[in-house]
Structure 1
């Protein structure tokens, strides 16, 4: 019988694996404690400690009288979200610059034909959303394009970290576009995609950082 601490760590890993595999999607209720005991073959206290650890990590949430629900698949995302305040928006943009500039540089070196096709599709969707004039649709389309750039970098850790700042990314984008959400004031990323296609890492990095300036303080 492994030590109790090891059993708890193994149970946490099993729960996390099932969540990441989509067995319990975000928003769904996980099985009850007795059901988890039977499914995982461990004791009640072990299950309880493992669930509590994932609650502290922001992956699970206990709702009184209803059960325990999956609220995130990413333990880092809730941590980032708690740090997101208006007075830290400059820091958010600096972090975006660090991720997106390096991702663009790597993408120019590593992109595949499939990556380029995905970038073209994402760019077309972004431009359509801009001309449609709906800020919420544009924000999602812009995120999709930058996510495609990160994917083209073929660095799994970078992709996972970038995914973790999703809430902060949406907030910074919403604040950045603000009242400029009009067809007459486009924020063009075609040159970014062209630089990646051309395999020019320096130009791709320059284009990625061109619009990531700190938000002026009021």
Structure 2
């Protein structure tokens, strides 16, 4: 999707719409890593901060998630993203429990 700098729609909203369209079309599948901010910025001929704003909004909506040092991944199809706060909290609890186990395993191997 071409970004129209003269549009009344903000650049970040246009980038967000394009990312959503690519997810819906299957170009970016659930669980798959999306291109880097730099790559997306080059594709859309916008600043990285513009892409960052679009990605952050999609993360907030539960469509994308970032893994530090690994990239940004499609978490759920638009409309399937968890909107239930209790479900989100439970998912976070599971992730924290998993991280605790991993840290404990690493600490145990270091103490041997």
User: Shorter-chain TM-score: which interval?
Assistant: 0.5 to 0.7
Alignment of structure 1 residues 8-87 onto 2, 5 Å: 8-80=12-84, 82-83=86-87
Q: Is the 8 A contact 1:62 1:68 kept in 2?
A: yes
Compared CA separation, residues 37 and 4, structure 1 to 2 (3 A): farther
Displacement of 1:74 in angstroms is: 2.4
TM-score (norm 2): 0.66
Extract unaligned runs of 5+ from structure 1.
86-218
Q: Report the count of equivalent residues.
A: 85
4+ runs deviating over 6 angstroms: none
Distance in 1 (alpha carbons) for counterparts of 2:86 and 2:46: 33
Tell me, what secondary structure is at the counterpart of 1:54? helix
In structure 2, runs of 5+ residues without a counterpart are 90-112
TM-score by length of 1: 0.35
Give the whole-Å Cα distance in 1 for the aligned partners of 2:43 and 2:57. 19
Shift of 1:70: 0.4
What RMSD in Å do the two structures reach over aligned CA positions? Answer: 2.4
Give, in whole Å, the separation in 1 of the partners of 2:18 and 2:51. 11
Which one has a bigger Cα radius of gyration?
1
Q: Which shifted more, 5-14 or 29-38?
A: 5-14
Question: 1:79 aligns to what SS in structure 2?
Answer: coil
